[in-house]
């Protein structure tokens, strides 16, 4: 699992320059609008607070403590408590950050760069996942930056693509379920599923309603409880397969095309958590023919937790992009209500 996520170890013996490299690398990544978490491993223990302070007393009483101020926040937890062993926490960070850099953890099975010390010619035998070994006197910042330029986009494309078709709207203006309307001898629902299948490992139908017999084996997902509108179907799908990269399509897009779906997938890139297109001249974005990376689930869960049901609200995050589709593809976003 860790090998498929954008988690990179910066490893080497004490004094090999790990912290100095990270101090130079993180600002360069920030200039590329990438959010970065750094995990530091210290076998000698951590000293994060002054003995006697309220937060230290609470920590020593057995609580995990979370500190915040207007400009920063800090969490201090006990090993063996919380979400799981330390490597499992790496994957949790990968749901909230574009890149996780781990200083240390040489024996953990994740991709890593080994910093050779003076007089050292190779990493120790048995260290897993070493992508490169960088000599003491080399330009390590340039080498790691070049490695990331190739490796990071590949990591972002590794999550399996799943497709989700949203059904179950009231169709009051149409007078009958839109997903069962026909075009060229097929229901709109069947056509949408057929367009998604070549691009997706699995296609699911989210929402309630009758489906054609030809789709009887297609997984059906109930709406997420307590959530309203299309967000209920999208959130249900993302909870069902939490590490998938989701292509979402509503059932009322009779001009949906394979080209539009391929364009959405082509927009995947480090730092892009979701692509909600904005059509030329349109006042808002299009969240119901869109791509949602698994990281976008955190943004949607945050909205749902506040009782905000409009998927378009996630565009408040700088991680959500709203490019205009090419004019020849824009018709795919035409929805029909009457």
- Sheet with 202-206, edge to edge strand ranges: 220-221, 202-206, 161-166, 245-250, 289-292, 274-275, 320-321
Residues 138 and 188 in one domain: no
Instruction: Give the tokens for residue 45.
Output: 């223990």
- Looking at residue 64, its pLDDT comes to 62
- Which pLDDT score, from 0 to 100, does residue 108 have? 87
- My answer on whether 283 and 218 are in the same domain is yes
Copy the structure tokens of residue 305: 């937790």
283-316 per-position pLDDT tens digit: 899 999 999 999 999 999 999 999 999 999 999 9
Q: What is the pLDDT of residues 187-235, one digit of tens each?
A: 999 999 999 999 999 999 999 989 999 999 999 999 999 999 999 999 9
Instruction: Write down which residue in 136, 156, 176 finishes a domain.
Output: 156
The tokens for 64 are 């995990």
The pLDDT value given to residue 173? 57
Residue 135 CA to residue 73 CA, distance in Å, equals 36
Alpha helices in the chain (DSSP H): 18-30, 54-60, 86-94, 140-156, 188-196, 230-240, 258-266, 296-305
Q: Are 56 and 50 in contact (CB under 8 A)?
A: yes
pLDDT for 169 equals 60
Task: Look up the pTM and report it.
Answer: 0.88
Distance set, CA 236 to CA 191, 230, 241, 265, 319 (Å): 22, 10, 9, 21, 21
Token pair in block for residue 255? 């001009």
Give the span between the Cα atoms of 157 and 277, in whole angstroms: 20
Residue 180 is predicted with a pLDDT of: 86
Domain that residue 314 falls in: 161-333
Co-location of 210 and 300 in the same domain: yes
Mark whether 189 and 229 lie in a shared domain.
yes
**Both 149 and 272 in a single domain?**
no
Please indicate, yes or no, if residue 290 is contained in any of the structural domains.
Answer: yes
In a domain, 25, yes or no: yes
**pLDDT given at position 174:** 56
Residue-wise pLDDT for 120-169, tens only, equals: 899 999 999 999 999 999 999 999 999 999 999 999 999 999 999 999 76
Tell me if 130 is assigned to some domain.
Answer: yes
Q: Do 265 and 167 belong together in one domain? A: yes
More confident position, 86 or 6: 6
Q: Give domain status of residue 306, yes or no.
A: yes
| Per-residue pLDDT, 84 | 44
Is residue 184 a part of any domain in this protein? yes
Q: How far apart are CA 63 and CA 78, in angstroms?
A: 8
Asked if 90 and 193 sit in the same domain, the reply is: no
Cα of 325 vs its chain's centroid, Å = 22
Residues 189, 132 within the same domain: no
C-alpha of 140 from chain center: 28
Whether 188 and 145 map to the same domain: the answer is no
| 11 within domain boundaries | yes
Q: CATH number for the domain including 201?
A: 3.90.550.10
Tell me which of 126, 156, 186 is where a domain ends: 156
Question: What pLDDT is attached to residue 103?
Answer: 87
Which backbone phi and psi does 141 adopt, to 5 degrees? -60, -45
| Per-residue pLDDT tens over the stretch 48-87 | 556 766 666 656 757 666 666 677 766 666 665 544 445 6
The DSSP call for residue 71 is S
Cα angle, residue 237 at apex, residues 231 and 239 outer, rounded to 5°: 100
Total domains, the chain: 2
Give the strands of the sheet with 36-40, arranged side by side. Answer: 36-40, 99-103, 7-11, 112-115, 130-134
pLDDT digits (tens, 9 = 90+) for 245-263: 999 999 999 999 999 999 9
Dihedral angle of Cα 205, 206, 208, 213, to the nearest 10 degrees: 0
**Same structural domain for residues 184 and 295?**
yes
Residues 192, 122 share a domain = no
Of 129, 156, 183, the residue at which a domain comes to its end is 156
Same-domain check for residues 234 and 250: yes
Please indicate, yes or no, if residue 338 is contained in any of the structural domains: no
């Amino acid at each position: 699992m860790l090998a498929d996520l954008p988690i990179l170890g910066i490893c080497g013996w004490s004094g090999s320059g790990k912290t100095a490299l990270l101090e130079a690398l993180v600002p360069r990544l920030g200039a590329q609008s990438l959010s970065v978490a750094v995990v530091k491993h210290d076998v000698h223990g951590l000293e994060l607070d002054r003995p006697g302070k309220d937060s230290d007393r609470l920590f020593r009483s057995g609580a995990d403590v979370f500190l915040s101020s207007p400009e920063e926040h800090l969490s201090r937890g006990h090993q063996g408590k919380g979400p799981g062993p330390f490597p499992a926490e790496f994957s949790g960070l990968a749901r909230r950050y574009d890149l996780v850099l781990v200083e240390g953890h040489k024996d953990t099975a994740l991709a890593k760069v080994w910093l050779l010390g003076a007089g050292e010619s190779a990493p120790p035998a048995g260290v897993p996942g070493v992508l490169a070994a960088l000599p003491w006197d080399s330009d390590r910042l340039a080498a790691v930056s070049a490695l990331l330029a190739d490796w990071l986009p590949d990591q972002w494309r590794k999550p399996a693509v799943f497709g989700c078709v949203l059904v179950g709207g009231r169709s009051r203006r149409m007078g009958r379920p839109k997903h069962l309307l026909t075009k060229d001898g097929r229901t709109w629902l069947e056509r949408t599923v057929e367009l998604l299948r070549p691009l997706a490992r699995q296609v699911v139908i989210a929402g309630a309603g009758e489906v054609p017999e030809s789709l009887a084996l297609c997984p059906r997902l109930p709406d997420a409880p307590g959530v309203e509108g299309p967000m209920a179907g999208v959130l249900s799908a993302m909870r069902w397969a939490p590490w998938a990269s989701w292509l979402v399509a509503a059932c009322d897009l009779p001009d949906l095309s394979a080209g539009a779906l391929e364009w959405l997938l082509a927009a995947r890139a480090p730092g892009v958590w979701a692509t909600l297109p904005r059509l030329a001249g349109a006042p808002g974005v299009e969240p119901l023919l869109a791509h949602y990376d698994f990281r976008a689930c955190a943004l949607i869960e945050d909205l749902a937790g506040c009782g905000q049901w409009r998927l378009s609200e996630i565009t408040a995050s700088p991680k959500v992009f709203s490019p205009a589709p090419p004019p020849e593809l824009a018709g795919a976003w035409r929805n029909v209500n009457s």
